Structure 1
Amino acid sequence: MAQQPIFKDKFDDAIPVLNFGTFHMGFTSDANSVDFDENDRKNQGDVKKVAKMLAEFKPTVIIVEMPPSFNEALQKEYSEYLKNPNMTFENPSEIELLAYEVGRLNNAQRIYGIDHKMGYNYNIGNTIQNKVNDKTYEKYFQLIDKEEKKLNYDNLSLLDKLKVDNHPQYLDFLINVNAEILSYVSTKDKFEGADEAAKYYHRNIRMYSNLNQIELNENDRVFILMGASHTAYFNDFMKRSPKYKLVDPFLYLK
């Protein structure tokens, strides 16, 4: 039987947040990418349909995966989009295609970037020599390769891809595959994999700190759009935060 709360841990004026994960729709330097033509008219139309669904959340503030140093230019371009939603972008990403449109449909005036870049070796598990003989790392990727084939992600519709990206099990998988599985990779008496995993946590907690530097009030409703591995971490952070109240994205993904 599920345990009942033993004390109150959210402020009465906790801010609603729709924390939404996506694959990167334009160029990405990430180790993994999705084949998606961001300039294809049909794809752009499909994104607008999703934007219309998510706009039902009625955000007042938009948060995206861009460093805060770009905030002035980001706000300027977004303001231009609000005036002219037919403006074109040479190489649009999920920011221009989805975040701008969700904001425009609600006349949200503020947009901020919270990304923080840090170096990180995703592939350290395959490069360390003389590893302690625990086969969990290798077995896990064999399992995931098999399950990914069943999922057939690349052939899903845009909406179904985004449903996968925001599924709780998939979000846990993203934390595992990006970080925690590396705790099984080490040489005797050392912590090479764990230390590398900590860098990814470090990046995400710094991104979260960037969010917490933005002035928000009890009347705000926040829409966050990031690569889904960051979404996964932010779900954990916000679940424990007294300031934020997570909203289920599946209330809007029809």
Structure 2
Amino acid sequence: MRFTAILLFVLLLTATTVSAQQTEPVEILFIGFDHLNQLANGTPESEVLSPKKQAELAKLNAALKRFAPDMIMVEVDPKGQARLDSLFRLYRAGSLNLANLEGGRSETYQVGFALGKLLNHQRIYGIDHYDATSQSLLSQGENIEIYRQGLQTLQKTARPLKKAVQQDSLSLYDYVVAINRPEMIQLTHRLFYNTPALVVNGEFSESGTHSADLSKLDKAYIGAEFISLFYNRNLKIYSNILTTQLRNRGRKLLVMMGQTHIGVLQDLVKDNPAYKIIPALTYLAPPK
């Protein structure tokens, strides 16, 4: 009788533990980048493959390794997963020269691949949905000056940091920390997902880059239409994150995207009780 009671207690405890584990939220760490393959300006100091910058990237990868993600997600469309898999197999085998690979200086390879190899992952996951929308697309309308002032504020804040990295007076590691601070994420998020709503009765620039169908625009709400282009892309990225995680049962996700994506993706995840956001600075640097 006593043995039966003990056995029932053990089974109940095990069931409770398993149930708790199943309801624990998935941890997700977002890290934003100013795309590394666009960093070079022709000077040796701006070369991502230089020994100095490679050492700085090694420091970044070591910091992210402490998070111990079981899935690494990068800014590659899932349609390109087969190519991503092939390249990662070559990289793991030491047979891929990133210097000769188109885009090989990007964070997908310099951080995603490098970290995946450090953690002995078998796959890196593409979760992007590619739609191009340039900052300059919104160019005319009532209150356009408010948007332009916001754009200038961002440029005045971000450009000196990028220039310092290109001149080797700021390390790549510290640059990534700087652009992932909450105030920097909020600055870019406000510029692309809030401020443009003030712009009405306008036009998109004919020279602005975009890949969306603009034939059904409501020009009376041109700024809101501009926001919708960014938001639609990120909703699809969010869907890719969720479905990829669900399919592969990851519990600790590292999601690497351009910095302008981070604010909106974090907002979407905050409303999902199945996920818990881990601030990037928890591992990169203590927040100020």
Cα distance in 2 for residues equivalent to 1:88 and 1:213? 32
Give the distance between the partners of 1:19 and 1:101, measured in 2 at CA. 17
The counterpart of 2:269, out of the listed 218, 238, 241, is 238
Show the 5 A alignment for 1:9-88: 12-27=23-38, 35=41, 36-84=46-94, 87-88=96-97
* Equivalent pair of 1:61/1:111 in contact (CA under 8 Å): yes
In 2: Cα distance, 1:121 partner to 1:49 partner: 32
Structure 2: gaps spanning 5 or more residues: 1-21, 165-169, 203-218
For residues 147 and 176 of structure 2, the distance between their equivalents in structure 1, rounded to whole angstroms, comes to 27
Structure 1 residue 220 and structure 2 residue 251: aligned?
yes
Deviations 1:55-109 (A, max 9, x none): 111111110000101101111211222232x742124111111111111111122
SS at match of 1:19: strand
Residue matched to 2:163: 154
* Cα distance, 1:121–1:190 mapped onto 2, change above 3 Å: farther
Residue 24 of structure 1 contacts residue 34 of structure 1 at CA under 8 Å; is this kept in 2? Answer: no
Cα distance between partner residues in 2 of 1:80 and 1:134: 49
Distance 1:144 1:94 in 2: 22
Offset of residue 135 of structure 1: 4.5
Output the CA distance in 1 between the equivalents of 2:224 and 2:60.
37
For 1:21, what is the secondary structure of its paired residue? strand
Distance 1:23 1:186 in 2: 30
Q: Over residues 29-62 of structure 1, what are the superposed CA-to-partner deviations in whole Å (9 max), with x where a residue is unaligned?
A: xxxx675423323222211221011111111111
Deviation for aligned residue 1:175: 1.7
What is the one-letter code of the residue matched to 1:253? L
Percent of aligned positions that are identical? 24
In structure 2, relative to structure 1, the CA distance for the partners of 1:46 and 1:152 (3 Å cut) is: closer
- Aligned residue number for residue 17 of structure 2: none
In structure 1, what is the Cα distance between the partners aligned to 2:154 and 2:130?
Answer: 27
In structure 2, distance between residues paired with 1:209 and 1:75? 21
Contact 1:68-1:113 within 8 A present in 2 as well: yes
Structure 2 residue identity aligned to 1:221: K
User: Which residue of 1 is the match for residue 107 of structure 2?
Assistant: 94
> RMSD of the alignment, in Å?
2.4
The one-letter amino acid paired with 1:205 is L
Q: Give distance in 2, aligned partners of 1:138 and 1:222.
A: 35
Moved more, 18-27 or 188-197: 188-197
Paired with 1:119 and 1:40, the residues of 2 have a C-alpha distance of 30
Return the alpha-carbon distance in structure 2 between the equivalents of residues 242 and 54 of structure 1: 24
Q: Which structure dedicates a bigger proportion of its chain to helix?
A: 2
Once residues 138 and 144 of structure 2 are traced to their aligned partners in structure 1, the CA distance between those partners, rounded to angstroms, is 12
The residue number in structure 2 matching 1:175 is 189
Preserved CA contact (<8 Å) 2:150 2:191: no
Q: TM-score normalised to the size of structure 1? A: 0.82
**Which protein is bigger by CA-based radius of gyration?**
2
* Cα distance between partner residues in 2 of 1:245 and 1:167: 18
Question: In the alignment, what sits opposite 2:117?
Answer: 104
> What's the CA shift string for 1:172-197, capped at 9, x where partnerless?
11222234221122228810111011
State the 4+ residue runs in structure 1 displaced beyond 6 angstroms. Answer: none
What one-letter code is carried by the residue in structure 1 that aligns with 2:119?
N
